[in-house]
Structure 1
Amino acid sequence: MRLEGKKVLVTGAGKGIGREICKLLSACGAEVFAVSRTAADLQSLAAEIPCKTIVADLAEAQQAVSAAEQALKLAGRIDCLVNNAGISIPQSFLDTTADAFDRTMAVNVRAVMLITQVIAKDWIARKSPGAVVNLSSQASMAALADHAAYCASKGGLDMLTKVMALELGPHQIRVNAVNPTVTLTPMGEMAWGDPKKSGPMLAKIPLGRFAKPIHVANAVAYLLSDAADMIHGVTLPVDGGFLAQ
């Protein structure tokens, strides 16, 4: 999976899956433009790999738009976009607050729409092809207790991905989603470290193990690459077979 000469914008780049994606894309030859709301995370990423960084809170609509515009200004052009930024605020359905629901939707769905609009309009104006990968979740297709807002947001993201694919495809802009299972980022390991919690979930995964960030990053790199030139509009599980049941 070679990405030499490609300029890639990655949101949610400071931690976990997003950070692993940035590291892999850089190793594949891409020039990375990293967005995070935490400046310290971006500084440590820039110490690891060559990248340009942008600080933005994507829950704020104007900051999401500005981040995409700033990336275009810094890069001159963007060739690929990875909408990785996402949040989860676990609450039972009956206790889900309007604020938690709205913030989850703002980051997980609205920011994807706003950032992709900016980048896609530039591609269309330049008559240039492009590739977008949205980071969704198996939770878009299998309900997870205490995650009403999160599951709803990822279901919405999957359908947004398909609409984007339908409308942007004629411009040779490919749009796909990756849908991981539980992924063992530092936060994931903390959340799922208790065998009483992880055991029932692992029992539903035929491969018997959770994903690692590199598994997700590999799928993203493939979908951005020319090797996936005819793959468009898919929601690709990276779930060890969880959704096969």
Structure 2
Amino acid sequence: MSALSYSEGKMNITFHGRKALVTGASQGIGRDIALKLSQYGAKVTAIARNQQLLDVLHSEDPKITVFAVDLSNWDATKNVLSQIGSVDLLVNNAGLAILAPLLDVTEQQIDSLFGVNVKALMNVTQHVAKDLISRGAAGSIVNVSSQASMAGLQDHTVYCATKGAVDAFTRAAALELGKFGIRVNCVNPTVIMTEMGKLGWSDPAKAKPMLEKIPLGRFGEVEEVTDAVLYLLSDRSTMITGSTLAVDGGYLAV
């Protein structure tokens, strides 16, 4: 899959000759993952809903192929995946967050969150896994989950439920696909300082209670999640599958 070497005390990673697919790649963590994978030699395809943001990504790195699609639409997603062709490395990053108290949650909110965070992830994974198996090729799949999969958060009942489902799916998929040489893992970030994260957590009064639960005393940066994803995609992690890697500054350890 990937080749790693050490030079001047640093670990160099390359994905030359590998085809990578990143969902939710138009902004934030997914965008950074797509750019870094391309930088390290992968032939990257980026999927998201927003064509305008995808065009900006493509203009920044013309080597990245982009497709706009609503991943919650099962058939439309299948159609796009059939156009992309074979994939060796998959990052299921697309996600939706709708926050509401349990007693106010609506059916539409539940359907929307599970449609993107769980159903779409299963759809893309199924397609990629079938292709890998048909080619007799090994592959690596990384799902972007959340610390919310393992900790209750205020007004996050449905979001927590979807991310718990992502973790459970990761373990079960790893069990089924391991015999084909396909590894499936997930990363579980805390609050990450994407542009959206900065908007939501820049208020010191709101941030203080969360920060007090993080032993390292800060929120995460986008590149810290990207580094974890690239590690799990790479051959440096060939004996790791079915795992949940917390990128949370110790939040879940408290």
Normalised-by-shorter TM-score class: over 0.9
Structure 1 runs, 4 residues or longer, greater than 3 Å off: none
Distance (whole Å) between structure 2 residues aligned to residue 60 and residue 39 of structure 1: 16
Amino acid of the residue matched to residue 232 of structure 1? T
Match of 1:21 among 13, 21, 33: 33
Alignment of 1:1-245 (within 5 A): 1-49=13-61, 50-72=63-85, 77-245=86-254
Please give the per-residue CA displacement for 1:186-234, whole angstroms capped at 9, x wherever unaligned.
Answer: 0010011111110110111011110111100111111111111111110
Amino acid of the residue matched to residue 147 of structure 2? Q
- Helix, strand or coil at the partner of 1:153: helix
2:6 matched to which residue of 1? none
Distance (whole Å) between structure 2 residues aligned to residue 184 and residue 67 of structure 1: 30
Distance (whole Å) between structure 2 residues aligned to residue 187 and residue 145 of structure 1: 18
2:5 matched to which residue of 1? none
Distance (whole Å) between structure 1 residues aligned to residue 78 and residue 22 of structure 2: 14
- TM-fit CA distance, 1:63: 2.2
- TM-fit CA distance, 1:2: 1.6
Distance (whole Å) between structure 2 residues aligned to residue 244 and residue 78 of structure 1: 35
Distance (whole Å) between structure 1 residues aligned to residue 76 and residue 208 of structure 2: 40
Distance (whole Å) between structure 1 residues aligned to residue 231 and residue 132 of structure 2: 21
Distance (whole Å) between structure 2 residues aligned to residue 191 and residue 65 of structure 1: 33
Please give the per-residue CA displacement for 1:114-171, whole angstroms capped at 9, x wherever unaligned.
Answer: 1111111011111111110000000000011111111000000100001100000000
Amino acid of the residue matched to residue 167 of structure 2? D
Give aligned pairs, total: 241
User: How well do the aligned residues superpose, as a CA RMSD in angstroms?
Assistant: 0.8
Distance (whole Å) between structure 2 residues aligned to residue 70 and residue 208 of structure 1: 45
Please give the per-residue CA displacement for 1:67-119, whole angstroms capped at 9, x wherever unaligned.
Answer: 322221xxxx2111000000001111110111011110010001111111111
Distance (whole Å) between structure 2 residues aligned to residue 205 and residue 2 of structure 1: 33
Identity %: 49
Distance (whole Å) between structure 2 residues aligned to residue 117 and residue 163 of structure 1: 13
- Helix, strand or coil at the partner of 1:143: coil
Distance (whole Å) between structure 1 residues aligned to residue 68 and residue 32 of structure 2: 18
Query: TM-score, normalised to structure 2's length?
Result: 0.93
Amino acid of the residue matched to residue 42 of structure 2? A
- Helix, strand or coil at the partner of 1:35: strand
- Helix, strand or coil at the partner of 1:183: coil
Amino acid of the residue matched to residue 172 of structure 1? G
Query: TM-score, normalised to structure 1's length?
Result: 0.97
- TM-fit CA distance, 1:31: 1.1
Ranges in structure 1 where 5+ consecutive residues have no aligned partner: none
